[in-house]
Amino acid sequence: MRGEMTTLGETCQFFNGKAHEKHIDAEGQFVVVNSKFISTDGEVKKFTSKQMFPLVEDDIVMVMSDVPNGKALAKCYLIEENGKYSLNQRICSIRTTKFNIRFLYYQLNRHPYLLAFNNGENQTNLRKGDILDCPLWKPTLEVQKQIVAILDQAFAAIDQAKANIEKNIENAKELFQSKLNEIFSQKGEGWEEKTLGEVSQIKPNKRETKQFLKEDDDVSFVPMKYLGENKMYFNSPEVKKFKDTYSGYVYFKDGDVVLAKITPCFENGKLGIAKGLKNGVGFGSSEYIPYRVNESLIFNEYLYFFMNRASFRKKGERLMSGAVGHKRIQPGFYEEELIPLPSLEEQKKISSKIKSIQTALDNADGYYNQKLDHLEELKKSILQKAFAGELTMSEPMIVSDLMMGYD
Amino acid sequence: MFEQTFKNIDDILWKDSGADSELDYIGQTSWVMFLRYLDELEQEKADEAELQGKEYQFILDEEYRWPNWAMPKDADGNLDHHKAMTGPDLVQFVDGKLFPYLAGFKQKTESAQTIEYKIGEIFSELKNKIQSGYNLREILEYADTLPFRSSKDKHELSHLYETKIKNMGNAGRNGGQYYTPRPLIRAMINVIDPQIGEKVYDGAAGSCGFLCEAYEYMYDRMEKTTDNLKALHEDTFFGKEKKNLAYVIGIMNMILHGIEAPNIIHTNTLGENIRDIQEKNRYHVILANPPFGGKERKEVQQNFDIKTGETAFLFLQHFIKSLKTGGRAAIVIKNTFLSNADNASVSLRKYLLESCNLHTILDMPAGTFTGAGVKTVVLFFTKGETTKNIWYYQLDAGRSMGKTNPLNDTDMSEFVSIHKDKPNTEKSWVFNVNDIDETSFELAPKNPNKPEEEALRSPEEILEEMEMLDEETSSLLTNIKELIS
């Protein structure tokens, strides 16, 4: 490996920051370089009017303290302007003329030697001595510049790739909603429009339970937390005696589509079809609206998909009414909203189709997220190879092996 | 200058075991101030009579006049501590003699326009709540420093009084019902534009906010002739209020705004049979914010054609009947009036649209009325023609309104400036009544001009972008490969 191994202490100057807590001033003209600033890459700033430790261009600042397994430990930031920053305590500043600064920044940022001081149990506090002992690879300035050029380009490309993937993750969600809206605004042959109240019995009267349940029978008790978001079926592990749940709770049966009416549950999409309830009967929050479908008119999964849409929720939310903090959707909406109704057979086909689209998009989502993880790993491994001296003209094989499987 | 006096009185009331909330503070401050005002009024009239060489007939018997029971003074004009009652004596006098005497006026007079009527009404309904005579003594002394002579002083007092009324909302749910935000009132008056010579009526007067603001509006714009001034003070403003506390406050508020003998009757407006309303009981201008949500009993409902338990709806019928032909009204009501599907609501909307020209509906955002969760609208209508077009305007203050961030005049300024033209804008549109649903007569605001919430792209468009991005990502990765090898 070309170039020498050295340590930080032999090549750089080290400075400790000063405590700024008592001098934080939102109107101040200096940015306080603290842990949050560095960990958010300069997004979150606190200000001061007392520049207790001035920083200059090309200073590398690094976080020295963090919680166990924290993401900020040994994270670095490159100061790009004079007269703008002041160094906080527990952050250090590294100055050198012996390295290409960007090269040093890449190498020092989250350096494994320093990360090793984290024991996963207690707060990590790097000491000056620890940092000075940090091993560094110092090739010629020429090689340093080459490596910086490669890293800059590679990382820019990775960041762009990540941005594309993140956009596609959002696109997939939008695609699903758009397709759903397309399906539910069809006006095909033989399609009718009916209100939700016409196709189902809303809030069936619990008196009917007395005909088939006895006092001591078990029923499922379903608090709001068990009504899922984007989960078609719901149930609850809690079981109570019929006599203890009859008063004061809303009643529903297996197969009923249950919608939460109060904010923010409604907007968050709490909705589901009851399945597997004890004795087929459930009781739950008074904020539930159960829909018992008229099976000759509508298929319950079709109703579920109709209601499980962003545009349905947006509309209901706009028409919500009530005191602040207790807004609820109104009967004018949850009873009168029109649903397009094809034949039962067509409804079943549609539900099936929606499920397959959902599965396909879930797969795409999983794939994209996996790609994101891979790209992060790629960054790390490129850095590792770079500072093991392997990222140069003479060692192509190992790195391109790395690239297989990342498409 | 008087702010401190009011504050001092409040502090004493706070100490006293009898006063419980902001409602009590204003109630008790009001009766004391009223008697003080009455004394100044009588003094002034006595002085005038003397100048003219006549005798003035005092309304109150000597024993009950302020300088005798409240603030007896010695030769130097200072409080005579020997004569002045205090402690249990004072409270006993007030509770046992003063109040019953004043309440007795109710029996003596017929006409609601006289000051005697008001004295009787106020003191037969209100109770002295101040339990410590020593506290009362202090309060009387503070009240004595308040001048009621010059209109400038009264003006300043009226502002302070208004602030107290506003703070009644702090007393809890019921406190706020007597207070309509003044910026809203001013905007409504601006649109209605009452002129001198017209009669202005509020059948749910509350703290008389509408009448007081209308007074200011008309006073500023009229020629200050003697006839005009007389008409303005005596023959322009009419109100009715059922609740005792509100009645007292309303009277006091009007007095402070310079109207000496406000024509406010202490009665239940809904107790009148609507069929008995004749031309002489009708008005040119009606401004009101009737109470909503009350549940009126069957006997009261019988007085109306469209029977409903909802108080505000009965009031609306009363107002429609009480307008002269060509008369103009602006009424605040719950927004559910426009959309409720029950028979009474539908009939009432139909009746309004047929008997009046409902030319404007102002949709107010939540938080307009601090303390109340309701969303309200203001109906502007003119009696005598049927409605053809309704101009809707949705007020958007650009922020969440509440107690610390209430409605202000700037929020209302756009509405006030454009309402005459009734233009189509992002927040306003014209609705042709012919398009109304003939079964439901639904009038809920549906803004056709609101920029569409970003329409979702079609699935095909989105897929195209996804493919394009995936391709780009692929080539980026190829690049990286080359870079690193």
DSSP for B129-194, please give it: ----HHHHHHHHHHHHT---SSHHHHHHHHHHHHHHHHHGGGG-TTGGGG---HHHHHHHHHHH--
pLDDT band of residue A395 (cuts 50, 70, 90) is very low
Minimum-distance CB partner of A161 among B373, B458, B477 = B477
Rounded to the nearest integer, the mean pLDDT of chain A is 90
SS3 letters for A127-188? CHHHHHCCEEEECCHHHHHHHHHHHHHHHHHHHHHHHHHHHHHHHHHHHHHHHHHHHHCCCC
Q: How far is CA B131 from CA A209, B69, B118, in A?
A: 59, 17, 25
Interchain proximity B484–A314, CB inside 8 Å: no
Q: What is the DSSP letter of A278?
A: G
Asked if the C-beta of A170 comes within 8 angstroms of chain B's C-beta atoms, the answer is no
Q: Are A157 and B480 in contact (CB under 8 A)?
A: yes
Instruction: Please give the angle made by the CA atoms of A20, A26 and A29, to the nearest 5 degrees.
Output: 80
Query: What is the pLDDT at residue B177?
Result: 60
Q: What residues of A are in contact with residue B463 (Cβ under 8 Å)?
A: 175
Q: What residues of A are in contact with residue B173 (Cβ under 8 Å)?
A: none
Average pLDDT over residues A147-159: 91
Which residues are CB-neighbours of A341 under 8 A, at least 6 positions away? A191, A192, A193, A194, A199, A297, A298, A347
pLDDT band of residue A396 (cuts 50, 70, 90) is very low
Cα A367 from Cα A172, distance rounded (Å)? 12
Minimum-distance CB partner of A168 among B458, B466, B485 = B466
Q: What residues of B are in contact with residue A157 (Cβ under 8 Å)?
A: 476-477, 479-480, 483
Average pLDDT over residues A322-333: 81
Per DSSP, the three-state class of B409 is: helix
CA distance A54 to chain B (A): 38
Minimum-distance CB partner of A177 among B336, B456, B465 = B456
Nearest residue on chain A to B483, alpha-carbon basis: A150
Q: How far is CA A339 from CA A182, A187, A236, B472, in A?
A: 13, 11, 29, 40
Average pLDDT over residues A150-170: 91
In terms of C-beta density within 10 A (0-12 exposed, 13-18 middle, 19 or more buried), how is residue B418 classed?
A: middle
Residue A313 has pLDDT above 80, yes or no: yes
pTM of the model: 0.54
pLDDT band of residue A403 (cuts 50, 70, 90) is low
Q: What residues of B are in contact with residue A406 (Cβ under 8 Å)?
A: 477
Q: What residues of A are in contact with residue B346 (Cβ under 8 Å)?
A: none
Q: What residues of A are in contact with residue B341 (Cβ under 8 Å)?
A: 332
Q: Are A229 and A271 in contact (CB under 8 A)?
A: yes
Q: What residues of B are in contact with residue A181 (Cβ under 8 Å)?
A: 456
The gap from C-alpha B294 to its chain's centroid, in whole angstroms, comes to: 17
Q: What residues of A are in contact with residue B339 (Cβ under 8 Å)?
A: 332
How many C-beta neighbours within 10 Å does residue B236 have? Answer: 25
Asked if the C-beta of A372 comes within 8 angstroms of chain B's C-beta atoms, the answer is no
Residue A407 has pLDDT above 70, yes or no: no
For tokens 């996996």, name the residue: A370
Average pLDDT over residues A198-224: 93
Minimum-distance CB partner of B469 among A167, A385, A402 = A167
Interchain proximity A332–B463, CB inside 8 Å: no
Q: What is the DSSP letter of B33?
A: H
pLDDT band of residue A400 (cuts 50, 70, 90) is very low
Interface of B with A (CB under 8 A): 336, 339, 341, 366-367, 373, 375, 453, 456-459, 462-463, 465-466, 469-470, 472-474, 476-477, 479-481, 483-485
Minimum-distance CB partner of B473 among A165, A332, A382 = A165
Q: What residues of B are in contact with residue A314 (Cβ under 8 Å)?
A: 453
Tokens of B149: 């002579």
Asked if the C-beta of A135 comes within 8 angstroms of chain B's C-beta atoms, the answer is no
Return the closest-CA partner of residue B356 out of B393, B377, B392, B331: B331
Interchain proximity B474–A407, CB inside 8 Å: yes
Minimum-distance CB partner of B466 among A158, A171, A322 = A171
The more confident residue out of A38 and B9 is A38
Interchain proximity B477–A323, CB inside 8 Å: no
Which residues are CB-neighbours of B140 under 8 A, at least 6 positions away? B32, B70, B71
Interchain proximity A164–B477, CB inside 8 Å: no
Q: What is the DSSP letter of A124?
A: E
Q: Which of A19-28, A296-305, A395-404, B458-467 has the highest mean predicted lDDT (pLDDT)?
A: A296-305
Q: What residues of B are in contact with residue A400 (Cβ under 8 Å)?
A: 481, 484-485
Instruction: Please give the angle made by the CA atoms of B231, B234 and B236, to the nearest 5 degrees.
Output: 65
pLDDT band of residue A394 (cuts 50, 70, 90) is very low
Minimum-distance CB partner of A400 among B462, B472, B485 = B485
Interchain proximity A178–B466, CB inside 8 Å: no
pLDDT in tens, A336-385: 888 999 999 999 999 999 999 999 999 999 999 999 999 999 999 999 88
Instruction: Please give the angle made by the CA atoms of B456, B445 and B419, to the nearest 5 degrees.
Output: 115
Minimum-distance CB partner of B483 among A154, A160, A175 = A154
Interchain proximity B462–A322, CB inside 8 Å: no
Interchain proximity A178–B456, CB inside 8 Å: yes
For tokens 């090689």, name the residue: A143
The predicted complex's ipTM stands at 0.76
For tokens 């006289």, name the residue: B114
CA distance B369 to chain A (A): 12
Q: What residues of A are in contact with residue B336 (Cβ under 8 Å)?
A: 321
Q: Are B122 and B246 in contact (CB under 8 A)?
A: no
Asked if the C-beta of A195 comes within 8 angstroms of chain B's C-beta atoms, the answer is no
Average pLDDT over residues A5-18: 94
Interchain proximity B466–A391, CB inside 8 Å: no
How many C-beta neighbours within 10 Å does residue A22 have? Answer: 7
Q: What residues of A are in contact with residue B481 (Cβ under 8 Å)?
A: 400, 403
pLDDT in tens, chain B (485 residues): 677 888 888 888 888 877 777 777 888 888 888 888 888 888 888 888 888 888 888 888 888 899 888 888 888 878 888 888 888 999 999 999 999 999 888 887 777 677 788 888 888 878 888 888 888 999 999 888 887 777 777 777 777 788 777 776 555 445 456 678 889 999 999 999 999 999 999 999 988 999 999 999 999 999 989 899 889 988 899 999 988 888 888 888 888 887 877 889 888 999 999 999 998 889 999 999 998 777 778 888 999 999 888 889 999 999 999 999 999 999 999 888 888 878 888 899 999 999 999 999 999 987 787 655 567 899 999 999 999 999 999 998 777 677 677 888 999 999 999 999 998 888 898 988 888 888 778 888 887 776 655 566 888 888 888 888 898 888 888 888 888 87
- Collect contacts of A360-363 with beta carbons under 8 A, ≥24 apart: A361/A172, A361/A173, A361/A175, A361/A176
